[in-house]
Amino acid sequence: MDKSSHALQREEEVKTVELDARRFHYRELNERIKSLINSGYEEIILNGVNGQRYIGDGLVHKVRIVINGVPGNDLGVFMDGPFIMVNDNAQDGVGNTMNSGMIVVRGHAGDVIGYGMRGGKIFIRDDVGYRTGIHMKSYRDQVPVIVVGGSAGDFLGEYMAGGIIVVLGVGVNSGKIVGHYTGTGMHGGVIYLADSIDQSRLGNEVRIFLVNDDDVRRLEALISEFSRLTGLDVSGIDPESFIKLLPASHRPYGNMYVY
């Protein structure tokens, strides 16, 4: 058997099920998802999703969940391992406190994306709202990543303690890819922007730097993966033209607690 035949056979062996989510309240839908996983299903396709919350909450299985429709708040909350693909927009709290795995949204997403996330990746094809990446943190070898294809609202990376945020700004007017107060309270991690930004739009805790060769290699890998999974055309993006934001101090408010 050649390699292509072997790969085809492996794909056919994936146990897949489709579910009409329109029939279920969010609690029942999430119970059904967990029951299907316990029954050995490796891919669950949810059709007609319309605002049901907590999809993927607390899951630790290497399962693939495909969502056709718009999931509600806290998609993937506390998630540790699954792959979630959303073929539409998503609401607030995507990846809330997630530990590992991946969430891909082929549309827009709301506020507080990746709140407190400790690992894994979140790819949003279009725009995100306020406070994306708030309280992100790294833990040992876990480095959480958020990539946004369009723009991000105010307070991007607020109180960020670790991890990576990338904003590509595709289709966004120059100077508008992030809002005000970017990096406020930031004391760890790095934010990469595909466009320049005035220091006045930043929190007092961050400074602007040029990217180096390591940054470029990191960006090339992330942008390539992002494009492949979201379908966004990134042909006009040059990683060497990015800027990066780093915290000026690891204890930005330390003087507030000195007596």
pLDDT band for position 7 (50/70/90)? very low
108-117, 232-241, 242-251: least confident range: 242-251
Q: What is the pLDDT of residues 207-246, one digit of tens each?
A: 999 999 999 999 999 999 999 999 999 999 999 999 999 9
pLDDT band for position 148 (50/70/90)? very high
Burial class (CB in 10 A: 0-12, 13-18, 19+), 246: middle
Checking if the pLDDT of 8 tops 70, the result is no
Is residue 19 within 8 A of residue 44, CB to CB? The reply is yes
The closest alpha carbon to 148, from 178, 173, 115, 175, belongs to 178
The number of beta carbons lying within 10 Å of the beta carbon of residue 241 is 12
pLDDT band for position 13 (50/70/90)? confident
pLDDT band for position 3 (50/70/90)? low
Checking if the pLDDT of 159 tops 70, the result is yes
How far apart (Å, rounded) are the C-alpha atoms in residues 39 and 55?
18
At the topology level of CATH, where does 107-259 sit? Pectate Lyase C-like (2.160.20)
Q: Which conformational region is residue 238 in: left (phi greater than 0), alpha (psi within -120 to 50 degrees), or beta? A: beta
Tell me the three state secondary structure of residue 201: helix
pLDDT band for position 4 (50/70/90)? very low
Q: Residue 139: its pLDDT value, please?
A: 86
Q: Residue 251: its pLDDT value, please?
A: 67
Mean pLDDT rounded to a whole number for the chain: 92
> 3-class secondary structure for 137-189?
CCECCECCEEEECCCECCCCCCCCEEEEEEECCCCCCCCCCECCCECCCCCEE
Checking if the pLDDT of 255 tops 80, the result is no
Tell me the one-letter amino acid at 62.
Answer: K
pLDDT band for position 12 (50/70/90)? low
Q: Residue 254: its pLDDT value, please?
A: 53
Which positions ≥6 away from 17 have C-beta within 8 Å? 36, 41, 43, 44, 45
The number of beta carbons lying within 10 Å of the beta carbon of residue 61 is 16
85-89, 147-151, 224-228, 253-257: least confident range: 253-257
Half-sphere exposure of 132 (CA within 13 A, CB side): 32
110-119, 147-156, 171-180: least confident range: 171-180
The number of beta carbons lying within 10 Å of the beta carbon of residue 13 is 8
Provide, rounded to the nearest whole percent, the portion of the chain with pLDDT above 70: 91
Mean pLDDT of 139-166: 96
* 80-86 and 64-70 strand pairing: parallel
Q: What is the pLDDT of residues 83-100, one digit of tens each?
A: 999 999 999 999 999 999
Mean pLDDT of 27-47: 97
Mean pLDDT of 198-207: 90
